[in-house]
Amino acid sequence: MTPLVIVGDALLDIDIDGSATRLSPEAPVPVVDVEHGWQRPGGAGLAALLAARTHDDVVLVTGIADDAAGRQLSGLLTSAGVRVVALPMRGTTVSKTRVRAGGQSVVRIDRGDAAPVPGALPGAAAEVLTAAGAICVADYGRGVAALPALRDALAAVAGHTPVVWDPHPRGAEPVPGCRLVTPNEAEAQHFCGTRASGEVLRERWTADAVCITLGARGARVFHADGTRIHVGTPALPAAGSVREDTCGAGDRFAVAVTAALADGADTASAVAAAVDAAARFVAAGGAAGVSTPVPAGHSGPLTDTDHGATDAVALAERLRAEGRTVVATGGCFDLLHTGHIRLLRTARELGDALIVVINSDDSVRALKGPSRPVMPAEDRARVLTALACVDAVAVFDEATPAGVLDAIRPDIWVKGGDYTADQLPEADVVTRHGGDVVIVPTVAGYSSSALIAAARSGQPTER
């Protein structure tokens, strides 16, 4: 399988959610009492994360500064299954923090000044561009898409590889020969200087086609032969009280249209698929649905004292109030492996959020023996929380997760293995609250116990 390559500026996005019931005595501004903190890759990083949720081979060509925020960003991308090809950088990682109260934005705080260092394109970056099945340039105006060597490489492959360019008002112009350029309506008007004109932009950028995205009104495509088509948004089921957040919708559109072109779709069909994907992304809560709790020590919901259990329950309550589907799964997760990742990704696809409940150290010892766990509960929780498909983690001390599930009340309980629902002692708790039990077959050849035993014996495991 050829990789889906994302190129552009990667940022760190942080959301601080809280409540505001009073004004500050120092100034007439609201005081926000922080309740939860969420983080995710931003910019081209978000585009790569979204691509990795549906594609196994995603590569991000970007620059990430070597600082605490940069390492945090790198960890989020790696845990999401994104392979990062680094470009030389200077400065500090760009982070954007949105502070919200009652679902409304109060302020955004921007930090960082990272910028790429001009020069020869690293060999690894040139190789992935040449091998790409399709390329999405997510330009956020911070210099990556303006690098001369990178632009030369993109122009060289555009003749035979679909290149989709998502432009930015402060960014570089698309290289000639792009299969599709995807400004939104405001960006198109900015580039034209007057009323947005797809024909003018297509000729100016010498692109095969230009697609102006129109938000809830869909998209309009302008082809080289002069034809234009309008693609409307699909009629989706009512989302109840889910609060729509359009943050990330443009990235979801750009990634979806790139993937469709990589699969051989024509431009019109690819745009239709991307409009549908972006509409569903917004209806499901937008970027909030792919965020993870800020780690312990960073004012986030996961703490060493309660292992995140309180916040898992609070998250489930909030999502239920919004009419969204809560999925839960559980186990020891003593040594994370491919089987676990497939289970977690499958579970996350069944709903709007995934809560993982894990056995405490005492519970693992009771099940596995005195030599287990290999990793303490705090570390297992942090590793799981760093995965893009996991929204919260809770730890339970009992032999079964029935107690914590009674508090979380998931709509769907996912278990891996060869069980049937009536063999699970916790199934009664799930069904009593109106939930369903789903069994996902395990991946043959992967077992934490077998991997740990092999590591201790010095012998390789058999697949």
Domain match, 120 and 154 both:
yes
Q: What is the largest CA-CA distance in the chain?
A: 73
- Beta-bridge mates of residue 131: none
SS3 101: strand
Query: How many domains is the chain partitioned into structurally?
Result: 2
Note whether 258 and 327 are same-domain residues: no
| 243, 264, 288 - which closes a domain | 288
Return d(Cα 323, Cα 212) in angstroms, integer. 32
Residues 307 and 275 placed together within one structural domain of the fold: no
Amino acid at the residue 342: R
Residues 284 and 316 in one domain: no
Tell me, yes or no, whether 431 and 339 share the same domain.
yes
Mean pLDDT of 32-44: 86
Q: Which two tokens stand for residue 180?
A: 């599709």
Q: Is residue 294 part of a domain?
A: no
Regarding whether 70 and 11 lie in a shared domain, the answer is yes
Residue carrying structure tokens 């309740």: 35
In the predicted structure, residue 135 carries a pLDDT above the cut 50: yes
Q: Tell me how far apart the alpha carbons of residues 96 and 296 are, in angstroms, rounded to a whole number.
A: 19
Phi, psi of 375 (to 5 degrees): -110, 135
In a domain, 296, yes or no: no
Given 236, 257, 288, the domain boundary residue is 288
Can you give the C-alpha Rg of the chain in angstroms?
Answer: 23
Active site residue 428: no
* C-alpha distances out from residue 236 to 43, 125, 280, 281, 414, Å: 27, 39, 8, 11, 26
Residue-wise pLDDT for 259-316, tens only, equals 999 999 999 999 999 999 998 888 877 777 677 776 544 433 333 334 445 468 878 8
Residue 238 lies in a domain: yes
Residues 250 and 359 in one domain: no
- The whole domain housing 417 covers 301-457
Query: Is 293 within a domain?
Result: no
Collect all residues with Cβ–Cβ distance below 8 Å to 449 and sequence separation of at least 6: 368
Is the whole model's pTM more than 0.85, yes or no? no
Find the mean pLDDT for residues 33-52. Answer: 89
What per-residue confidence (pLDDT) applies to 285? Answer: 75
171 pLDDT higher than 90: yes
Within this chain, do residues 262 and 386 fall inside the same structural domain, yes or no?
Answer: no
Given a cut of 70, is residue 239 above it in pLDDT? Answer: no
Domain with 437 in it: what CATH number? 3.40.50.620
For residue range 99-124, list pLDDT tens digits in order. Answer: 988 878 889 989 888 899 999 999 99
CA distance 83 to 67: 19
The mean pLDDT value for 417-437 works out to 85
Q: Which of 13, 17, 139, 251 is catalytic?
A: 251
Q: Could you say which of 256, 288, 320 is where a domain stops?
A: 288
Q: What is the pLDDT of residues 118-134, one digit of tens each?
A: 999 999 999 999 999 99
More confident residue, 393 or 243: 393
b or e along 45-54 (b: 16 or more beta carbons within 10 Å of the residue's beta carbon)?
A: bbbbbbbbbe
Residues contacting 412, CB < 8 A, separation 6+: 325, 326, 327, 328, 347, 350, 351, 435, 436, 437, 438
- Asked whether 211 and 219 are in contact (CB, 8 A), the reply is yes
Distance, CA of 380 to CA of 208 (rounded, Å): 49
Please tell me whether residues 312 and 279 are part of one structural domain.
no
Looking at the domain assignment, is residue 26 inside a domain? no
Cα distance between residue 372 and residue 449, in whole Å: 9
For residue 335, what pLDDT is reported? 79
| Residue 199 shares a structural domain with residue 332 | no
- Tell whether 344 and 272 lie within a shared domain: no
CATH at 279 = 3.40.1190.20
* Same domain? 249 vs 364: no
d(CA 186, CA 195): 10
pLDDT of residue 371: 75
